[in-house]
Amino acid sequence: MDKVELAVYTAFKDAQKDMMIKNNSERIKTWHVSDFTSPCIRKSYYQRNFPAPYDPNKTSILFHGLILHEHTKLSHFHEVTMCYDIKEDKAYTPQEVRELENTDNIITGSLDDLMRINDEYVIVDKKTYNGYMGQYKKKEPDESYKLQLSIYRVLLDKGYGIDATRGCLLYLDKSSDFTETPMAFDLAPIEGTKTYMTDVLRQLKQGLPKANVNWLCNGENRKGKIFCPYKDRCDNDGI
Ligand code: SF4
């Protein structure tokens, strides 16, 4: 790169980094819905107790996600952050949570969009994926994402008194102009999801949870990669 190219490149990277930092500083110190939908609860435990250093290789993926979400508003109820105390069965606003001393039982989630369609409330979430230029297409919704939206249902009901019975994942293929594949489904009943959340919270708080070896750490994924940053620590701790 010559001097001009380097200056432009560096300015772009700095703008990207600023956006990431701004977004990260808005995160509240609570559990996140993704901690409860991970295929391995131990990984969520590690994330909370030994936060992994920022991985610059993920900047580009996160950057795409942020831009996409910010510029695709599907309803008035868009990008709403909800907080919920699992033990007390009580909703909080993010502002209230910032003033709490103890957030050990609080989970936070940000809902993409809440739509009202045919008198039904529908929780919508956008997910990008790599379809390898049309060679791979999503055929059914991922179970972990269905669970994510069912947890949002609990938070939404408690925080806003709105019961959304349906969810819809809008898959967008980033290898092919964000080609859209929407997939709708029934959300799980609220009480069952609350029981699930209580059980996961108990596991997370009682010490090191059992390891659940899965595609994140056994190389059995399309890229044949290890995605869990805690693999060494986990191997040391044993199953
Ligand atoms: S290495 Fe596997 S089993 Fe261990 S914490 Fe990570 S995902 Fe869980």
The CATH number that applies at residue 21 is: 3.90.320.10
Answer whether residue 124 is part of any domain. yes
Q: Looking at ligand 1, which atom is closest to the CA of residue 217?
A: 2
Per-chain mean pLDDT for the chain: 93
Cα–Cα separations (whole angstroms), residue 106 to 89, 91, 157, 168, 189: 10, 9, 16, 25, 20
Supply the DSSP string of 42-76, one letter for each residue. HHHHHHHHSPPPP-GGGHHHHHHHHHHHHT---SS
Answer whether residue 235 is part of any domain. no
Answer whether residue 141 is part of any domain. yes
pLDDT in tens, 176-217: 989 999 999 999 999 999 999 999 999 999 999 999 999 999
pLDDT in tens, 115-157: 999 999 999 999 999 898 888 889 999 999 999 999 999 999 9
C-alpha closest to that of 57 among 193, 229, 215: 229
Answer whether residue 127 is part of any domain. yes
* Mean pLDDT score, 218-222: 91
Tokens of 201: 């919270």
Angle at Cα 107 formed by Cα 101 and Cα 111, nearest 5°? 130
Q: Is residue 123 within 6 Å of ligand 1 at its C-beta?
A: no
Give the type of residue at 211: A
* Mean pLDDT score, 219-237: 94
* Top mutation candidate among 41, 42, 48 for ligand 1, by most atoms within 8 Å of CB: 42
* Top mutation candidate among 44, 203, 234, 236 for ligand 1, by most atoms within 8 Å of CB: 234
More confident residue, 98 or 52: 98
pLDDT in tens, 28-41: 789 999 999 999 99
The answer to whether 35 and 204 have CB atoms below 8 angstroms apart is yes
Range of the domain at 31: 2-47+54-207
Answer whether residue 227 is part of any domain. no
Answer whether residue 214 is part of any domain. no
Answer whether residue 9 is part of any domain. yes
Which residues make beta-bridge pairs with 223? none
Domain total of the chain = 1
The answer to whether 207 and 48 have CB atoms below 8 angstroms apart is no
How many of the other CB atoms lie within 10 Å of CB of 160? Answer: 16
Q: Is residue 97 within 6 Å of ligand 1 at its C-beta?
A: no
Answer whether residue 234 is part of any domain. no
pLDDT value of residue 27: 64
User: Phi and psi (nearest 5°) for 167?
Assistant: -130, 160
